[in-house]
Amino acid sequence: MRAKDELGRFGEEVACRHLAAGGAAILDRNWRCREGELDLVARDGATLVFCEVKTRSGARYGSAAEAVVGRKAARIRRLAARWLAEHPHEPSPVRFDLVLVFRPPAGQVRVEHRRAAF
């Protein structure tokens, strides 16, 4: 497995644990269709949460938050609409979150959860 893929899987696992610790129920992980992938889909109380996870081990690629703007945010919204169409449920509010996981080569893993980030 490539180091980048391994880091991404690590970040998604950390994000899942973080969301669950906050009371959210994970409904889907790495949901895919032709247009792309949703990292995490969760239920936080009555709200459906579509969560993008960004993991970094250093500042080499810029901040993780910078990675979800413009087209990327629009694509995630389109994917969420597709997921909703394929998973019938009671109408509920929808939120788009960003979980940033920073895993430095040495030191403590940090998690930043931005609710309604985009």
Report d(CA 77, CA 93) in Å as an integer.
14
Of the options 3.20.20.70, 3.30.450.20, 3.40.1350.10, 1.10.3720.10, the CATH number for the domain spanning 3-114: 3.40.1350.10
pLDDT in tens, 35-63: 999 999 999 999 999 999 999 887 665 55
Q: How confident is the chain (118 residues) per 10-residue block, as mean pLDDT?
A: 82 97 98 96 97 84 62 94 92 95 88 94
Report d(CA 62, CA 38) in Å as an integer.
21
What residues does each domain of the chain span? 3-114
pLDDT reported for residue 64 = 53
Contact 53, 101 (CB under 8 A): yes
